[in-house]
C-alpha cells in the first residue's frame, strides 16, 4: 500500500466528520460502504492512528482525529482557494494588513493603480492592531502591512516611509464648539479618541498633555467611523481621527 495521503483520503475524512456516519457519506457520494471503509482504513494505516471511534452507526473523532481534522480542513481549504485562483486567471494574491481607519485614501488609490497595472493579481485586505499585523507579517500570513507610528521593523522585514498621516479634531459643524477658540472648545467638549492600540492614540495623548488637558471627558474610544459619526452628530464632542478616515465627510 502506498504511504502517500491522497486527496480522496482527505475529502472522505472530512465528509465523514461532517456527516458523522459512514452510511450517510456512502449514500451521498454514491459509493459502497465497504469501499468507503477501505479508504478510511488506508488513511488510518498511513497515519498509524485510529481517527474515529465506532459507536453503533455513529463515527466519533478520537484525539488524533480532532487534530487531523483541523489541519486537513485547512489543507483542503487552501487547495480549493488555489484551484479557484488558477481557474480565474489570477496569478498572485497580495495580502495586505491595515490599521483601522489608517491611510484609507492612500490605500484606495494605491489598490486601484496596482490592479490597473497588474490585472491578473488580486489583493486581500485585513484590519487589525499593530501587534496583530506585525505577528501576521512575521509568520508570513501577510505580505506587507501599512501602519503608522514609530514601531521598528521586526527581524526579516523592512520598512519604508510612505507619507505622513494627519490626525485632526472633528466636530459637528452645526454645534457650538465650531465657533469657539480651539483651546476653549477642547476644554468644554467631551472627547472621542482612537483605541489604545490604534494608530494616532499616542499622538493624541501627547497633544492633550501639551494642551494641559487632563484627559477627562472621554466618552468613547473606537476605530468604527460610523459609530463615531453618530455620536458627533448628536453631542458636543471633539473626535480625534485620521484625516483620511473621514475625508469624504468633511465640509
> pLDDT tens-digit profile of 22-38?
999 999 999 999 999 99
Instruction: Tell me the angle at which helices 33-47 and 7-19 cross, rounded to the nearest 10 degrees.
Output: 110
Asked if 94 and 58 sit in the same domain, the reply is no
Range of the domain at 194: 167-249
CATH number, domain of 119, equals 3.40.190.10
Q: Is 197 among the domain residues? A: yes
CATH number, domain of 41, equals 1.10.10.10
Asked if 181 and 120 sit in the same domain, the reply is no
Q: What is the pLDDT of residue 23?
A: 92
Domain final position from 58, 82, 106? 82
- Model confidence at 1: pLDDT above 50: no
pTM: 0.52
Q: What is the pLDDT of residue 200?
A: 82
Asked if 112 and 93 sit in the same domain, the reply is yes
Calculate what percentage of the chain has a pLDDT beyond 90.
Answer: 46
- Model confidence at 232: pLDDT above 60: yes
User: Is 148 in contact with 98 (CB distance < 8 Å)?
Assistant: no
Domain final position from 65, 82, 99? 82
| Structural domains of the chain, count | 3
Q: Is 117 among the domain residues? A: yes
Q: Is 183 among the domain residues? A: yes
Q: What is the pLDDT of residue 86?
A: 75
Q: What is the mean pLDDT of residues 225-233?
A: 90
CATH number, domain of 182, equals 3.40.190
Asked if 174 and 213 sit in the same domain, the reply is yes
User: Is 22 in contact with 53 (CB distance < 8 Å)?
Assistant: no
Domain final position from 47, 64, 82? 82
Give per-residue pLDDT as tens, 124-169.
888 888 788 888 888 889 998 887 655 555 666 777 767 677 889 9
Asked if 64 and 105 sit in the same domain, the reply is no
Q: Which class for 87: exposed (0-12), middle (13-18), buried (19 or more C-beta within 10 A)?
A: exposed
Asked if 97 and 72 sit in the same domain, the reply is no
Distances (CA, A) of 201 to 9, 23, 168, 208: 51, 58, 12, 11
Q: Is 157 among the domain residues? A: no
Amino acid at each position: 500500500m502506498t504511504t502517500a495521503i491522497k486527496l480522496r483520503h482527505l475529502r472522505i475524512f472530512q465528509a465523514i466528520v461532517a456527516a458523522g456516519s459512514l452510511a450517510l457519506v456512502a449514500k451521498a457520494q454514491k459509493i459502497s460502504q465497504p469501499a468507503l471503509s477501505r479508504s478510511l482504513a488506508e488513511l488510518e494505516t498511513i497515519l498509524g492512528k485510529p481517527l474515529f471511534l465506532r459507536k453503533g452507526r455513529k463515527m466519533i473523532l478520537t484525539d488524533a482525529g480532532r487534530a487531523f481534522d483541523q489541519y486537513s480542513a485547512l489543507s483542503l481549504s487552501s487547495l480549493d482557494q488555489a484551484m479557484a485562483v488558477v481557474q480565474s486567471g489570477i496569478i498572485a494574491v497580495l495580502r495586505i494588513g491595515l490599521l483601522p481607519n489608517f491611510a484609507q485614501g492612500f490605500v484606495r488609490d494605491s489598490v486601484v493603480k496596482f490592479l490597473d497595472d497588474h490585472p491578473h493579481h488580486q489583493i486581500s485586505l485585513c484590519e487589525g492592531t499593530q501587534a496583530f499585523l506585525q505577528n501576521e507579517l512575521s509568520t508570513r500570513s501577510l505580505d506587507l502591512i501599512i501602519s503608522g507610528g514609530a514601531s521598528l521593523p521586526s527581524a526579516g522585514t523592512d520598512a519604508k516611509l510612505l507619507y505622513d498621516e494627519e490626525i485632526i479634531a472633528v466636530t459637528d459643524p452645526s454645534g457650538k464648539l465650531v465657533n469657539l477658540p480651539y483651546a476653549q472648545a477642547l476644554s468644554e467638549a467631551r472627547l472621542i479618541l482612537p483605541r489604545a492600540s490604534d494608530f494616532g492614540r499616542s499622538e493624541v495623548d501627547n497633544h492633550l498633555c501639551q494642551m494641559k488637558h487632563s484627559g477627562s471627558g472621554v466618552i468613547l474610544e473606537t476605530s468604527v467611523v460610523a459609530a463615531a459619526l453618530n455620536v458627533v452628530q448628536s453631542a458636543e464632542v471633539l473626535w480625534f481621527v485620521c484625516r483620511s478616515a473621514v475625508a469624504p465627510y468633511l465640509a
